[in-house]
A and B are shown apart, each in its own frame.
Chain A
Amino acid sequence: NAGVTQTPKFQVLKTGQSMTLQCAQDMNHEYMSWYRQDPGMGLRLIHYSVGAGITDQGEVPNGYNVSRSTTEDFPLRLLSAAPSQTSVYFCASSYSAILNTEAFFGQGTRLTVV
């Protein structure tokens, strides 16, 4: 039962570097999303996808790109890392994009930008 798998678990970047956070789910879920978690702010939606080939912006999309070439994978790209992107990132998936189904979360990626 892998569920939602995120890699890496920890990452330190220098300002200006780029990187990709990986997310994969093995539950054939339609809906996938990326959140960032900052102290006192809960989780905020960065980008989401309602199916392969379809992505859209969430609440805080600036500085991030996503793509969804397969149902299973939903990578998040940081184009040019900034200290403001220091955060914990969570990937989540849900069975359906049109039904109110629960979200399953990965274990998170703790990113520090110096």
Chain B
Amino acid sequence: QSALTQPASVSGSPGQSITISCTGTSSDVGGYNYVSWYQQHPGKAPKLMIYDVSNRPSGVSNRFSGSKSGNTASLTISGLQAEDEADYYCSSYTSSSTHWVFGGGTKLTVL
């Protein structure tokens, strides 16, 4: 069982917006602004999409945005495109000795 809780799957049609949630505790998501999001296509390495809750690395589309409220972080993808279909993982620093925790992943299907 993953430390951070994500929905197993979400779906949306091209052009729509979707949001993926990532729920933790005050020891991780809620306590620090160190939430990151990764996109993983089948057979590929994860790719950093958002860091420090809401920052986008250079080269990542501005259709991807991140936010946080309390113990829940969110990744929003606007203007859905077929290429966005992938698995998405959240991660957070944790004050526990584990240092990092990941979510179980969310499969995004573009209908």
Partners in one complex: no
